[in-house]
Structure 1
């Protein structure tokens, strides 16, 4: 096997394997399923007779993956937090890490025949770009497996309990590579119908006795059994011209058989001879098959469907086989084990690109497409945050928002739907599973308890608060990539801040603008000579300089700003006295006076940009949650900042999230519409009937999904991630200590211990 994952199979054959994402199929309306079916037919038809391919669906227990759900608390944290962490880990184990929780992974393996590696590499590369692009149209992202990834996949079959990492570093250190890394510790092939690989009893089965009209849910029924199994569809496309000739020859043979049957009946004295019913049905089916190949966009394939099961005892293996038999029987099919050919079956079911079995059946494109591998979108990103359980497949949802082009998002949900609690659980997960900085803008004061529990810094922004926050805070990265000099950007912010604070509806006049810019440049002179915290100026320093300027406009500005610097609204006049270096900061603006709301929000947003630009230079991500985001969208300046952050934030490592009850609250303004357009993550909880039209336009939901959104329980809903829509259940038990810190509805205090509540 080469480093790029291409495997030399011998006899000039090479193969490569791609992982592909699932897409919504079984939970969509009939028209959508038809479109998906037709596009999958196009995918099958794009392969010619010079290639063969396999479709794999690998179902395995979550406990046998390298996904780690436990979170760790530092020894220095409070006992209260340690208790919350321990209870949360126990909850995750009960819910997800038991042997009853399974995940699915889907792959396609393509085999080509070329004389050397370079030719195989080029051809497989073209297949990955051209043919697998048809899966992209279905919403299925694909990724070619490299050598360590492909070896890991094969080892899951040969050595299921070996979860150690396969990497080039490990190969170099151990001197063990390729086959030695994945070969079973022992292999017993002395039995007729099963093989023992190490401690596991394994059996390869094949699907047979297909009915003329098979349901498209068969593959889903088998692979959602929550049993350890690997299902493989081996496909060998046939040359269209040769296929038609072969079917015609078959028809001629059947016609001769029919004539022979009629002739025998005449000799026996039968007055009205008729062909046997079975023969007549075969002829009719073959004629229809030929017509499909000639008139419709159908090709002919030789294919088989193999199922590989494994268990630690013969009894358990037999029970899995019985469960598969029950599912298959409902579709009118049967399964049989390979007898005296289990080794060939094993070689043909694993993702290597070989088909050494004698079982091959003829299919048209549409009949083969009935074994469609799609079910519902599954999102299981290693290292991702947990967003509960997939409501349809019951599998865990682990999502890494950083994987998407725009990681920004929104939480929408009616009051009591679990929206805020869901966002708090995302914060909890983010705190323990990443090292990123986190900022929360909290107009209602609802996140204070959780932030204090986590040891974060709550900054109460109000006239009565003792905390002080300096709008002149700056760092050398403030200008971002555009300009290494941060002062022009800070000057622009101070001009805008004074403009909104003093309510200049038509904008500050040019003279006043120049005066402010001059004072900003002068007040930062010491800082620019020696950039350190001690040299960062304050609003009071700026005010002192402003009063010294000779222009009348300066005198007017100074008089207007006096209340905010030396008067009763001077909360932003001095140096910051809070720990702004804490990785979790929450701005509580619940008690911020009306006269300071716009000014305060502008300063908070500037602080956010200060941190975002600094973290970009440090190659660090910044998460921002803005609750009641519609309040910031009402003011032009704060709305513009949000819009720019949503548009530019990706290259600065920003992951921004807005929260509000109704979609129309955010979509009412052009700024909100632009933010939604630049968000690939949208979380929807229970919605009012009046919001359904807005939701439907935003997400393109089915009638069933729309109905579910109006009736779903608290903590249940659906979300959009990229082009995928996933229905989720993220409810938490209220007896957990953590619930006391994330509950937002006072009515929840009346629930009984052990009740499931929004999470």
Structure 2
């Protein structure tokens, strides 16, 4: 065990140590700012390199504190009087120190605080001397920005390194006196702001602006596609009216500025105005002449103009068609039906010249009518029954979605799949076809830019087996395709009470909680480890307020939008009254069938 943590060798130099293949340099902080704020040492803990921070604290008993403060006040007052007697100008630093000493002495005398002797030591690690020099320069620059005076532990580099090990040994003994309020601000190193990716950088923060920090009034930026992210997924939970869709549309709009491609599954037409304003594409399933053929093969056009498809594209499409047919007839297929359906699918493709030879995959694919005709030709009971059950989707009332080839191949920076016009009887299969189209877009190797898939009101999708499988698959493997999943729901209990829903939440690096209902707060508190204060905040949060959780970091924020953004993303009926009132509505006269 000892051999696992002790370096192979230690070479001691004046200002650094060589610990095996590693180089370390230690610093003692000798100068501190006059005033500090809570979490003021957090930039040290958020340093992007490997930095050890050690804080040694020794309490000073009240009697000793009073005696030392009395001596300090005597020295300061004596110096001021001596300068005044000799006609010297007052020293502002001495005046400030005297006022601080009087204030501290009063608080200690009243028992409102205590004194502590504090030593702050830093050890920076690097792989070579050149890297160590760069790290030292960056660390000293960071300390200077915090008004900390960090001094090398020259000729005591070994003692400095040992002082930063978790041994509780202070071999440097360079201490400063802190009172209770100053020490509490330094411990436990918490900050209300998200850590910067690089505290030494003066560049603007990357990512999307979500709003302002309620605790510090700073801005909350977050980059879901940043380096070091385990995945690019996000889950947003909040009760009705908490501002979920507003926040998502705001993030969506600002992600478009950064070149992120977005696909939205929109059950209630909430993204139509936004798509129209930014030149997006809307696919309105259920409308006239809008079809998605489930037989389409995932053939992609590469950057060189040639068309390509996965080697097992035909086999995977056959498996997908089994799912589509099961959804259409509303039950799982038995063994006989699966066998005859598998043969019929292969025969349907062969009837239009598509075989296992990939060179034939660019030909026009069959349709549901082709499959029904093949089943009718078999003559056995299982095939005949399947063909009869497909009748309404080929010739009947529900044929509008399947009667022909795919009419639209959406392409663009924003694609909105609207499901509002789908009748309830086609909602399930329409959702399956939409998810398939989105998945083919995600896995298209010709698209290399980041992509987001937004699923609004995901609770209804999780209730569908095919929809739940899509969410689970996308949350797991979306990162490999540089894609992120955004799941939005107001029914937190329905999502969290489902195994698939819990898996989707667990695989979301970014988790946003808006205002919650009292019935759901206990389950959310257990799942997200919310403190009592955070629970109270979520129960009383205003519209647009919430918690942004990213791993171990958590920040309370208020979403903000510019007037132009607000006009595009709001769904407040009162604000949309004028716009809707000015729109012309077409009515059909059922007598002469003319629009008026």
Q: Shorter-normalised TM-score: what interval? A: 0.5 to 0.7
Q: In structure 1, what is the equivalent of residue 425 of structure 2? A: 595
Q: In structure 2, what is the equivalent of residue 299 of structure 1? A: 170
1:522 pairs with 2:350: yes
Q: Name the CA shift for 1:383/1:563 in 2 (closer, same or farther; >3 Å).
A: same
1:585 pairs with 2:415: yes
Q: Could you tell me how far 1:500 is from its partner in structure 2?
A: 1.5
Contact 2:261 2:451 (8 Å CA) reproduced:
yes
Using structure 1 for the length normalisation, give the TM-score: 0.53
Listed as ranges, the matches of 1:155-304 within 5 Å are 213=115, 229-232=145-148, 234=150, 297-303=168-174
Q: In structure 2, what is the equivalent of residue 424 of structure 1? A: 249
Listed as ranges, the matches of 1:79-98 within 5 Å are none
Contact 1:511 1:553 (8 Å CA) reproduced:
no
1:489 pairs with 2:391: no
Q: Secondary structure at the match of 2:525?
A: helix
Q: Secondary structure at the match of 1:234?
A: strand
Q: Name the CA shift for 1:594/1:560 in 2 (closer, same or farther; >3 Å).
A: same
Q: In structure 1, what is the equivalent of residue 572 of structure 2? A: 745
Q: Name the CA shift for 1:747/1:708 in 2 (closer, same or farther; >3 Å).
A: farther
Listed as ranges, the matches of 1:653-692 within 5 Å are 653-692=482-521
**Length, aligned pairs only:** 458
- Greater displacement, 230-239 / 589-598: 230-239
Aligned equivalents of 2:192, 2:366: Cα separation in 1: 56
Aligned equivalents of 2:576, 2:387: Cα separation in 1: 51
Aligned equivalents of 1:625, 1:302: Cα separation in 2: 56
Aligned equivalents of 1:661, 1:380: Cα separation in 2: 31
Q: Secondary structure at the match of 1:106?
A: helix
Deviation string for 1:524-559 (max 9, x for gaps)? 744855467663443344444444445443332222
Q: Secondary structure at the match of 2:148?
A: strand
1:409 pairs with 2:238: no
Q: 2:454 aligns with which of 615, 625, 648?
A: 625
Contact 1:458 1:588 (8 Å CA) reproduced:
yes
Q: Could you tell me how far 1:380 is from its partner in structure 2?
A: 5.0
Q: 2:549 aligns with which of 704, 720, 729?
A: 720
1:53 pairs with 2:44: no
Q: Could you tell me how far 1:486 is from its partner in structure 2?
A: 0.9
Q: 1:569 aligns with which of 373, 398, 401?
A: 398
Q: Secondary structure at the match of 2:484?
A: strand
1:454 pairs with 2:370: no
Aligned equivalents of 1:714, 1:506: Cα separation in 2: 47
Aligned equivalents of 1:646, 1:524: Cα separation in 2: 36
Q: 1:636 aligns with which of 462, 465, 486?
A: 465
Aligned equivalents of 1:698, 1:558: Cα separation in 2: 47
Q: In structure 1, what is the equivalent of residue 213 of structure 2? A: 390
Contact 1:388 1:730 (8 Å CA) reproduced:
yes
Q: Secondary structure at the match of 2:26?
A: strand
Contact 1:380 1:399 (8 Å CA) reproduced:
no
Using structure 2 for the length normalisation, give the TM-score: 0.66
Contact 1:625 1:658 (8 Å CA) reproduced:
yes
Contact 1:56 1:108 (8 Å CA) reproduced:
no
Q: Name the CA shift for 1:240/1:619 in 2 (closer, same or farther; >3 Å).
A: closer
Aligned equivalents of 1:133, 1:490: Cα separation in 2: 56
Aligned equivalents of 1:427, 1:495: Cα separation in 2: 34
Contact 1:715 1:730 (8 Å CA) reproduced:
yes
Q: Could you tell me how far 1:371 is from its partner in structure 2?
A: 6.8
Q: Could you tell me how far 1:600 is from its partner in structure 2?
A: 0.7
Aligned equivalents of 1:420, 1:493: Cα separation in 2: 31
Q: Could you tell me how far 1:376 is from its partner in structure 2?
A: 2.5
Q: In structure 1, what is the equivalent of residue 43 of structure 2? A: 106
Aligned equivalents of 2:159, 2:452: Cα separation in 1: 59
Contact 1:56 1:230 (8 Å CA) reproduced:
no
Higher relative contact order (CA 8 A, sep 6+): 2
Q: Could you tell me how far 1:421 is from its partner in structure 2?
A: 0.2
Q: In structure 2, what is the equivalent of residue 539 of structure 1? A: 368
Q: In structure 2, what is the equivalent of residue 266 of structure 1? A: none
1:444 pairs with 2:271: no
Q: Secondary structure at the match of 1:659?
A: strand
Q: Name the CA shift for 1:546/1:492 in 2 (closer, same or farther; >3 Å).
A: same
Deviation string for 1:391-415 (max 9, x for gaps)? 2122222211123212212111112
Q: 2:385 aligns with which of 543, 553, 556?
A: 556
Aligned equivalents of 2:546, 2:238: Cα separation in 1: 9
Deviation string for 1:98-132 (max 9, x for gaps)? xxxxx99935799xxxxxxxxxxxxxxxx967x75
Aligned equivalents of 1:413, 1:487: Cα separation in 2: 41
Q: 1:647 aligns with which of 458, 468, 476?
A: 476
Contact 2:234 2:485 (8 Å CA) reproduced:
yes
Q: Could you tell me how far 1:214 is from its partner in structure 2?
A: 5.8
Deviation string for 1:550-589 (max 9, x for gaps)? 5443332222112112322121332222351223111111
Aligned equivalents of 2:382, 2:53: Cα separation in 1: 63
Aligned equivalents of 2:335, 2:43: Cα separation in 1: 60
